[in-house]
């Protein structure tokens, strides 16, 4: 019996120390496809206006892109070490509004990738306009929240956009009842192209 326990323990130790998981590997920077969603640069200006002539002007004041880096599969000696080669990358920008129409001042976009060192398994974009926050599943565009839709084309103002995400919140839910924005339009090529403002009861669109 003691001999069996000894052999079992020896086999376990051999498994732990033979799973050469201290090998380092390279993780890339944000992929080109994800980078195209971050279509604004520092000092870029975005203007949105409604039919009454009111406007919001946003200026991008920061942008970040994670660089490539070297990673390690897992800690040496970890039980059940599977040598997973996991990688993550992210990027985003932040813009401030100069409008006096309300005290909410920001528009921001962030995208996060995850996968292994060969394949991107997930890419999620999160954007926020004032108090409205929503996500887009870049790797699976058909994965939409209830009530959301993906339009092949949409005209707002004098511009026609393709592949437009139409996303909204349920204003009947208590924590959404005081939200300023209840609906937004987002395209890969341009970013945020419009939003519905509850205070003025109007659509602001990018010009």
SS (H, E, C) 164-192: EEEEECCCCCHHHCCCCEEEEEEECCCEE
Alpha carbon of residue 202 to chain centroid? 27
How does pLDDT run across 2-50, given as a tens digit for each residue?
555 555 554 454 454 555 666 788 999 999 999 999 999 999 999 999 9
What's the predicted TM-score (pTM) here?
A: 0.82
On the CB side of 80, CA atoms within 13 Å amount to 0
At residue 94, does pLDDT exceed 70? Answer: yes
Are 129 and 192 contacting, i.e. CB atoms less than 8 angstroms apart? yes
pLDDT at 172: 74
pLDDT for 76: 43
* 168-186 per-position pLDDT tens digit: 988 778 777 788 999 999 9
Per-residue pLDDT, averaged over 122-148, amounts to 94
Interval 101-124: pLDDT, tens: 566 789 999 999 999 878 899 999
């Amino acid at each position: 019996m003691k001999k069996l326990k000894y052999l079992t323990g020896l086999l376990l130790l051999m498994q732990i120390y033979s799973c050469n998981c201290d090998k380092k590997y390279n993780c890339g920077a944000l992929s080109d496809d994800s980078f195209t969603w971050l279509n604004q640069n520092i000092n870029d200006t975005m203007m949105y206006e409604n039919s009454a002539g009111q406007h919001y002007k946003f200026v991008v004041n920061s942008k970040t892109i994670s660089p490539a880096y070297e990673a390690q599969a897992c800690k040496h000696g970890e039980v059940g070490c599977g040598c997973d080669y996991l990688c993550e990358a992210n990027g985003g920008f932040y813009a401030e509004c100069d409008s006096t129409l309300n005290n909410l001042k920001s528009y921001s976009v962030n995208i996060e990738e995850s996968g292994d060192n060969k394949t991107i398994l997930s890419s999620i974009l999160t954007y926020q306009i004032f108090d409205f926050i929503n996500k887009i599943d870049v790797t699976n565009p058909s994965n939409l929240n209830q009530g959301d839709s993906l339009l092949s084309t949409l005209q707002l103002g004098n511009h026609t956009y393709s592949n437009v995400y139409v996303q909204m919140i349920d204003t009947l839910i208590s924590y959404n009842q005081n939200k300023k924005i209840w609906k937004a339009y987002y395209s890969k090529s341009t970013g945020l192209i419009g939003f519905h403002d509850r205070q003025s009861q109007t659509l602001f669109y990018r010009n």
